Structure 1
């Protein structure tokens, strides 16, 4: 059965273009609130959150299981050591100061999907204490929303930016922990207001496909896809 599945994946990549990786994404899960001088755990997953599919790390697309997890705050940027846990990659750090810690992944996959280059972006924020000092997250695109645990039956305002500019009229997929998901379209300021009906972790996603030509690992591509995710928690 494993070999049939692998053959099917190879055929989709070869004949179906970019379907295989567009259906899956990297996302980060972590408590958005940390405590100074206490270890804080971060997990990185790959799969399809909307349908509850979490891929084993050995089955991650291309070289995704070799991605780097970075942390940046108002003072420095460091790479966090990841441990393979079978279903996810895990890291931890001890925040020494109050402030906002940005956690992120920016990984262009080694292999092309047909003639498309794939970049996986994921982000998370951790608030320690009340200090609001933080560094801008160094991603080509990113989300902005309040760094807290949200309440059920409320709305979560989310803004999508590319560089420092709001991205208008683009779809943002919001996926709940119970299988419900909904596509929202950003307004002129790149914002949506997502419904937070159930408790748990929500994952948000935006995909961007651009006509772009180049060479990647000695292979020619004519499109560049970026998939961006973030997560927030509701109680």
Structure 2
């Protein structure tokens, strides 16, 4: 699959919640971007990409966020950069095996109630969890390594993309976190 830089949006969410679109440079199989932090804290990077073509009458949108810790964090970016977000409750905090990880999911700036989130562990273990009325969920990692979180939501929403009408939008949000022993 080939992506064009004009079809990918990378946002930096500053500690005060301000969003800046970062210019991206395409590589062979990746994009690169840079930013210079103004102070210590946990910043949020968010990427959004709409599929070039509709799937029938459905628009597909993919979103991901990542926390970037700079120095000794005293504050965290207040971020809801995409229409569907999954984030950990305390970005920048080290996660450990056997200790619960709190998640928060947001859909269009409101808590995403009853969102199914798939948790994929580094060993291949998978588990589905669901957010509560406040958009919160929790899981306890059993192994060290990289965990991949994914949630998706569809809604009826009419519009046009590339000159073609759509009747619904499917959004996917991902988040990756590292767990230590």
Normalised by the length of structure 1, the TM-score is 0.66
Preserved CA contact (<8 Å) 1:63 1:110: no
Query: Would you say 1:134 and 2:77 are equivalent positions?
Result: yes
Secondary structure at the counterpart of residue 93 of structure 1: coil
1:203 corresponds to which residue? Answer: 148
Task: Rate the CA distance shift 1:113–1:191 in 2: closer, same or farther, 3 A.
Answer: same
Structure 2 counterparts to residues 115-126 of structure 1, below 5 A: 115-126=57-68
Comparing both structures, which one devotes a greater share of its residues to helix? Answer: 1
Match of 1:172 in 2: 117
Q: CA deviation at 1:212?
A: 2.0
Q: SS at the partner of 1:196?
A: coil
Q: Is the 8 A contact 1:83 1:89 kept in 2?
A: yes
Two-structure CA RMSD over aligned residues (Å)? 2.4
Shift of residue 84 of structure 1? 4.0
Residue of 73, 77, 98 corresponding to 1:153: 98
Find 2:40's aligned residue among 98, 110, 113.
98
Task: Identify if the C-alpha distance between structure 1 residues 104 and 178 changes in structure 2 by more than 3 Å, giving closer, same or farther.
Answer: same
Corresponding position of 1:111: 53
Structure 2 residue aligned with 1:234: 179
- Partner of 2:97: helix, strand, or coil? coil
For the pair shown, which has the larger CA radius of gyration, 1 or 2?
1
What's the counterpart of residue 185 of structure 1?
130
State the distance in 2 between where 1:97 and 1:219 align: 44
Q: 1:197 to 1:92 in 2, by over 3 A?
A: farther
Could you tell me whether the CA contact under 8 Å between 2:115 and 2:130 is conserved in 1?
A: yes
User: Counterpart of 2:171 in 1: which secondary structure?
Assistant: strand
State the TM-score, normalizing by the size of structure 2: 0.83
Once residues 86 and 137 of structure 1 are traced to their aligned partners in structure 2, the CA distance between those partners, rounded to angstroms, is 29
1:102–1:137 contact (8 Å) kept in structure 2: no
Q: Could you tell me how far 1:215 is from its partner in structure 2?
A: 1.7
Judging changes above 3 Å, is the alpha-carbon distance between structure 1 residues 195 and 118 closer, same or farther for their aligned structure 2 residues? same
Any unmatched runs of 5+ in structure 2? none
In the alignment, is the contact (CA less than 8 A) between 1:141 and 1:163 conserved in 2? yes
Distance 1:114 1:75 in 2: 36
